[in-house]
Structure 1
Amino acid sequence: MSLIFALLLAAQMGSQTTPVQPIVKGTGLPPPGTEEAQVMAPVNALLAGIAARDAAAIGQALRSDATATAVAEQADGTRKITHSTREQLLARFAPGPERYDERLGTPAVEIDGDIAMVWSPYTFRIDGKLHHCGYDHFDLVREGGSWKVQNLTWSSRTTGCEG
């Protein structure tokens, strides 16, 4: 009898899932001088490089083997995944007449030793007009006391964006 009970209990436990709480959204930008602020420094430099359309400045924030992945929601609801090398990512930011402005919401920063991640909603404007929005996820690695972006992943959509 106890074997049947044990099997029933195991089957019931196997069908349950443990709820996973979503990552806690940031509560504000980290104060200067904190480790979180050090993690944000290359992220902020990357965003400044995007605003300046300066591939060299963006490149300074990236590791030499950095990658990027974008998941864009298409008009028909399907999603297109694009993976880029560092060089392909940097080629997107050639000088041009349009003014780019990517703004993060309140980021969540997580650090464990020499790895870190930053997760944040963002909006992207071209010449002041909202173009798209989504979430940015930056994976960072600290080498020689300096944080660099190893991978940038972002979602992109044109609906549901807050202005």
Structure 2
Amino acid sequence: MFKKSIYFLFFLLCTTFAVLAQNPEEQAVKAVVIQLFDGMQKHDSTMIRATFHPSIRMQSIGINRKTNLMDLTTEENADGFIKHIGSLPANIQIEERVLSYEIRVDGNMATAWTPYELYVNGKRQHCGVDAFQFYKTESGWKIIALADTRRKCE
């Protein structure tokens, strides 16, 4: 029992230090990612749009059905994505679970690398990584590019 308590205390300290190690700009970038996924979960197009810069570029890399190899499978504009998520029926529950965040900031540019699992109505659909590029505007950080991979979960 004592050994488990020591392990738990060590885990708690490491987690606390990791959170404290993020600077305010990294935390602000992370907040944009969280807002995007919260907006997706709520089917809230206004919330999603607020995270995007008007010039955003969106791409997905997944399994090409013809070749069965990883390939650039989708290029989508923000309006199409936002309309798709906003028009999902209320009985469709989507949740993108971020497994970790790797955020880098340099001046008005930032990147975030976020491995994730996508769930639809509680069932895991696919896994991958979201690679975000951000630009800091007068109104805060905005996503200027988003590329993701989509693969079967292992």
Q: What TM-score range do you get, normalising by the shorter chain?
A: 0.7 to 0.9
Mapped partners of 2:56, 2:108: distance in 1: 16
- Asked whether the 8 Å contact 1:28–1:106 carries over to 2, the reply is no
Amino acid at match of 2:39: G
2:61 equivalent to 1:68: no
Q: How many residues align?
A: 134
1:95 pairs, out of 54, 77, 88, with: 88
- Asked whether the 8 Å contact 1:30–1:37 carries over to 2, the reply is no
Seq. identity, %: 22
- Asked whether the 8 Å contact 2:56–2:144 carries over to 1, the reply is yes
- Asked whether the 8 Å contact 1:54–1:95 carries over to 2, the reply is no
Q: How does 1:24-63 map to 2 (within 5 A)?
A: 28-29=18-19, 34-63=24-53
CA apart distance, 1:81 = 2.2
Name the counterpart of 1:24: none
Assess, with a 3 A threshold, how the Cα gap between structure 1 residues 67 and 78 changes in structure 2: closer, same or farther: closer
Q: Give the secondary-structure state (helix, strand or coil) at the position aligned to 2:37.
A: helix
C-alpha RMSD of the superposition: 2.1
Assess, with a 3 A threshold, how the Cα gap between structure 1 residues 42 and 126 changes in structure 2: closer, same or farther: same
Structure 2: gaps of 5 or more residues: 1-16
- Asked whether the 8 Å contact 2:39–2:48 carries over to 1, the reply is yes
Mapped partners of 1:83, 1:68: distance in 2: 6
Assess, with a 3 A threshold, how the Cα gap between structure 1 residues 30 and 71 changes in structure 2: closer, same or farther: farther
Structure 1: gaps of 5 or more residues: 1-26
Assess, with a 3 A threshold, how the Cα gap between structure 1 residues 115 and 127 changes in structure 2: closer, same or farther: same
Which structure is higher in helix share?
A: 2
1:83 pairs, out of 55, 75, 92, with: 75
